[in-house]
Amino acid sequence: TKPSLETTHYVKTHFKNLGLETHTVPFKTLLSYPLRASVSLHFDNGTVINLPLNEIGISSYAPSGLVQPYHAYSPSGTTQGDAVFVNNGTEDDYRALEVMGVNVSGCIVIVKKGGSLSRGAAVQIAEKKGALGVLMYAEGDVSRGSFGFGVERGTVMRGVGDPLTPGWAGVEDGERLELEDNKILDRFPGIPSLPLPFESAQVILESLGGPEAPQKWRDSSRSKLSRVGPGQVMVNFTYQGEKKLATIHDVFAVIRGSVERDRYVLLGNHRDAWTYGAVDPNSGTAALLDIARRYALLMRKGWNPRRTIIFCSWDAEEFGMIGSTEWVEQNLVNLGAKAVAYLNVDCAVQGPGFFAGATPQLDDLIFEVTKKVKDPDSDVATIYDKWTTMNRISYVRRHGVHLSKC
Ligand SMILES: *[C@@H]1O[C@H](CO)[C@@H](O)[C@H](O)[C@H]1NC(C)=O
Ligand SMILES: *[C@@H]1O[C@H](CO)[C@@H](O)[C@H](O)[C@H]1NC(C)=O
Ligand SMILES: *[C@@H]1O[C@H](CO)[C@@H](O)[C@H](O)[C@H]1NC(C)=O
Ligand SMILES: *[C@@H]1O[C@H](CO)[C@@H](O)[C@H](O)[C@H]1NC(C)=O
């Protein structure tokens, strides 16, 4: 898209203005875009409701000019069936439904997105169980500053990289598979799916007949959920999309190492976003660009890194890590011999406070570092102080007890 090309130019110009060796690498890859979608509810009493499918009309934050919510690489189609709520959409959840006597074969399933299951995996399981379509909604993670205003766009392709060039780089005029090739079809779901706004999902969930939802499902849900379906309401769901070849651009800046030129340390982040991308990926890109700026400042004072540092700004990550995968496929032998480490950012800044997730081996390092960094919102406290305070508060909120020590 045009805004996406503008970010390519922005990042390239930033690196160039720092005096860094900069280059752009294009690939031609299969992307997926929505044309139109509709979801209507048909109640037993004859009432028909068309559900809103985007942010407009749902929240006062409603932005305009955004791509309509969709699942990239969902097949096109029109399906009709009873709606059934399948909780997180895991195998366990379908087993629980079976115990209740609910068979989702021939139904449209409503999946709560979140937790361990990827979007593609949730659709794959639903397809295996005989569902005709999948409607997915997110409840938002309040603890991370997300309140569920947004509708989560995302990919449902399986695996990573350009589907037409599996294992080799998708260069202009290069060899690629045909769209009808079975190898490609294996990577896409066989049933259509669509993300729903939380509010629209609520309208369906509140209307469901059938057996009562398990207590565990109700307790863990923000939704006004009482029954899982099927019954009382039919869903008519249409999605039309198109897959097309599009040129994507990875941008690189290189600082040659002074001692080990043939050892690469790669720092990277993707640059493409479903919408504005304030958090994902721009907060990470801001960090990446500023690391480059600081290295450039140090270089002006005569500093040089021991090993070669490569800054990587990837395109088409949201579709299935396509930009980074194609570049690695193009440089497999070189990277295999020379790459020492790859450090990735994505969402660097999100919501209030500090949180970290890591292998336990990094615990001490993270404690040490956060003790050295000042909390930007305070004159005296460190990030470590703020982090431990926040953890105490949320622990007390969750468990209703006070900790004397952290
Ligand atoms: C039909 O049922 C729906 C859902 O229960 C309800 O909102 C609507 O008011 C009903 N319409 C009529 C005409 O009874
Ligand atoms: C669900 O229904 C389908 C179609 O009627 C049937 O083939 C399938 O065996 C059923 N599944 C279970 C677990 O009963
Ligand atoms: C799935 O739903 C259950 C409720 O049954 C919830 O407690 C759990 O956290 C969810 N699991 C995942 C992986 O999201
Ligand atoms: C389902 O929706 C499609 C697309 O909006 C429409 O063409 C079709 O007539 C609808 N089917 C029913 C039974 O309402």
Give the span between the Cα atoms of 62 and 49, in whole angstroms: 21
Lowest mean per-residue pLDDT among 55-59, 153-157, 248-252, 305-309: 55-59
* Per-residue model confidence as pLDDT tens digits over 249-285: 999 999 999 999 999 999 999 999 999 899 999 999 9
One domain, residues 18 and 71: no
One domain, residues 62 and 194: yes
Lining residues, ligand 4, CB within 6 Å: 38, 78, 80, 236, 238
Lining residues, ligand 1, CB within 6 Å: 43, 45, 47, 207
- In this prediction, residue 406 carries a pLDDT of 38
CA 128 / ligand 4 centre spacing (Å): 25
One domain, residues 106 and 166: yes
Number of Cβ within 10 Å of residue 256's Cβ equals 12
Does residue 402 belong to any structural domain of this protein? Answer: no
Does residue 405 belong to any structural domain of this protein? Answer: no
Quickly state the pLDDT bin for 222 (edges 50, 70, 90): confident
Give the span between the Cα atoms of 169 and 331, in whole angstroms: 9
* Per-residue model confidence as pLDDT tens digits over 306-364: 999 999 999 999 999 999 999 999 999 999 999 999 999 999 888 778 888 888 999 99
Mark which of 178, 208, 241 sits at the end of a domain. 241
Give the span between the Cα atoms of 287 and 345, in whole angstroms: 8
Residue 311 token pair:
């800054």
CA 7 to chain centre: 19
Helix axes 2-17 and 283-300, enclosed angle (nearest 10): 20
Residue 58 token pair:
């749902």
Looking at per-residue pLDDT, the higher value among 338 and 182 belongs to: 338
Q: 58 pLDDT exceeds 70?
A: no
What DSSP assignment string belongs to 266-300? Answer: EEEEE---SS--IIIIIHHHHHHHHHHHHHHHHHH
Lowest mean per-residue pLDDT among 72-86, 140-154, 208-222, 270-284: 140-154
One domain, residues 219 and 88: yes
One domain, residues 185 and 72: yes
Q: 305 pLDDT exceeds 80?
A: yes
Number of domains in the chain: 2
Does residue 384 belong to any structural domain of this protein? Answer: yes
Mark which of 220, 241, 262 sits at the end of a domain. 241
Does residue 406 belong to any structural domain of this protein? Answer: no
Give the span between the Cα atoms of 128 and 158, in whole angstroms: 15
What residue type is 291 in one-letter code? I
Quickly state the pLDDT bin for 403 (edges 50, 70, 90): very low
One domain, residues 257 and 112: no
One domain, residues 266 and 365: yes
Is residue 114 within 6 Å of ligand 3 at its C-beta?
yes
* Per-residue model confidence as pLDDT tens digits over 8-48: 999 999 999 999 999 999 999 999 999 999 999 999 889 99
Q: Which domain holds residue 7?
A: 2-29+245-397
One domain, residues 222 and 292: no
Residue 375 token pair:
């909390």
Does residue 404 belong to any structural domain of this protein? Answer: no
Ligand nearest to the CA of 219: 3
One domain, residues 292 and 365: yes
What residue type is 159 in one-letter code? G
One domain, residues 65 and 208: yes
Does residue 206 belong to any structural domain of this protein? Answer: yes
CATH number at 38 reads 3.50.30.30
Non-local (6+) Cβ contacts of 163 within 8 A are 30, 73, 157, 177, 184, 187, 188, 320
One domain, residues 364 and 333: yes
Give the span between the Cα atoms of 218 and 85, in whole angstroms: 11
- In this prediction, residue 404 carries a pLDDT of 45
Number of Cβ within 10 Å of residue 391's Cβ equals 15
Mark which of 199, 225, 241 sits at the end of a domain. 241
Does residue 116 belong to any structural domain of this protein? Answer: yes
CA 46 / ligand 1 centre spacing (Å): 8
* Per-residue model confidence as pLDDT tens digits over 384-402: 999 998 887 766 666 655 5
CATH number at 267 reads 3.40.630.10
One domain, residues 101 and 189: yes
Ligand nearest to the CA of 95: 2
- Residue 244 φ then ψ, to 5°: -150, 155
CA 203 / ligand 4 centre spacing (Å): 19
CA 236 / ligand 4 centre spacing (Å): 6
* Per-residue model confidence as pLDDT tens digits over 195-219: 999 889 999 999 999 999 999 998 8
- In the residue annotation, 317 being an active-site residue is answered as yes
Does residue 403 belong to any structural domain of this protein? Answer: no
Q: Round the average pLDDT of the chain to a whole number and report it.
A: 91
Mean pLDDT, residues 158-165: 96
- Asked if the peptide bond before residue 197 counts as cis, ω within 30 degrees of 0, the response is no
Quickly state the pLDDT bin for 224 (edges 50, 70, 90): confident
Is residue 216 within 6 Å of ligand 3 at its C-beta?
yes
Instruction: Please report, for residues 23, 162, 169, 297, 319, the alpha-carbon distance to residue 270 in angstroms, rounded to integers and kept in the order given.
Output: 16, 15, 18, 24, 11
Per annotation, catalytic residue among 317, 318, 326, 329: 317
Q: 57 pLDDT exceeds 70?
A: no
Return the percent helix, strand and coil in the chain, to nearest 5.
30, 25, 45
Q: 59 pLDDT exceeds 70?
A: no
Radius of gyration of the chain (CA): 24
